[in-house]
Amino acid sequence: MAAQITQLLALFLALFSLFSRYNALKDDLNHYSYNNYFEEEMGAGYDPRAYPSYYGAIGGYGNVDGSMTALSFRRYSVASASTGTVVNVDDFGATGDKTHDTEAFEKAWKKACSSKGGVVLLVPQGKNYVLKPVRFTGPCKSNLTMQIYGNIAASDDRSDYEEDNRHWLVFDKVDNFLVEGGGGKINGNGKIWWQNSCKINKNLPCKGAPTAITFYKNKNLVVRNLTIQNAQQIHVSFQRCTGVRASGFKITSPEKSPNTDGIHITNTQNIRVTSSVIGTGDDCISIVSGSQDVEATDITCGPGHGISIGSLGSKNSKAFVSGVTVDGAKLSGTTNGVRIKTWQGGSGTASNITFKNIEMNNVKNPIIIDQNYCDQSKPCEEQSSAVQVKNVVYSNIKGTSSSKVAINFDCSKNHPCQGIVLQKVNLQDQDHGPAKAVCNNVKLREEDTVPKCP
């Protein structure tokens, strides 16, 4: 009898364990945070430049309400200095005494990337490393963590960029990758580039400059707590990435530094940017064509040009952006608040976009859709085609405008903005007078909004 009771008890415990594991797995599938790293698979032949704007609502790739449904995902363990193999750049000849350490970093990367298991690539604190342009290439055999505790500065010799003058640090096709700041600063030494910009000196030809950090074709990427300053041009770019969790950025450049976007998102799907402070000479966050299922929360922006979708459709190109949510942002002293900007002559769509829970303080153009965007010295030619802007919601947006026009919808005559919703919007002139709304070629609904469209 005692043996039978023991067997029944063992069976009960086994069933209970299975039930508990099932619930835990169900919770994992339904609740994501940036600590859950997963991989989404795209269908064969999928072209991110040509997906329809409604793609996010089908196939389980992303839901209209912003929740995520993963097609597949894979857990992996992140190494730490106490548990994983540690590869220290100093062990490969890096000195951190403001001399060039590029070769040592390349050797350390090769070792860390080719090792198996959990690996930490350590940039130790208390050092000042100087790097020429360098590309850290995958795929890697390891689940790699890069800990940046020391300072990294860009070479200020422009001749070092002759082979590639558009990139400084590139992480190329590195999957299951964690980049973690620990007090170190990444400095692009941008001044030498800014003073040679046509936006600073009108007599100079317009040329590109390096992006400080580029993440290219990475899957399951986590970037957190990086401090980046004085980028040559864009501070950090996510290009053709899938499954990104980025948080805790501190990004700064002078207000007059040209084209120094804080975070640039292009052709990237399923990206979350959270809890970041950005002040630059251009957009705090820019989201351009091919990007889908983008979420930015708890963003502090200023100085800069605000949070922008676009520009889209330049040089008569086709552009698609969909499924963008900005939820929780504070903008102070910026030239724009939340902006959508498209060139005449383009095509495609910018759709299913939500801006909510946003505070504006002395912002020149708090809410703006500009379908006649023209960032060139000569006037832009008037053209009939345009990127279609539709299904955009502005909700719970409050604060002050430094100009009389707080809401400006300058939409296309041939392709009017459609499905625009303003709800619980209250924007006042900074001088405490009534602000205005300018609304051209827009189909909208207003609820509890000040100022209202005439």
Q: Which of 235, 305, 415, 432 is catalytic?
A: 305
CB-neighbour burial class of residue 426 (10 A; exposed 0-12, middle 13-18, buried 19+):
middle
Q: Does 305 qualify as catalytic in the annotation?
A: yes
Closest CA to 272 of 26, 24, 37: 37
Task: Give the C-alpha separation, 112 to 224, whole Å.
Answer: 20
Q: Which residues are designated catalytic? A: 305
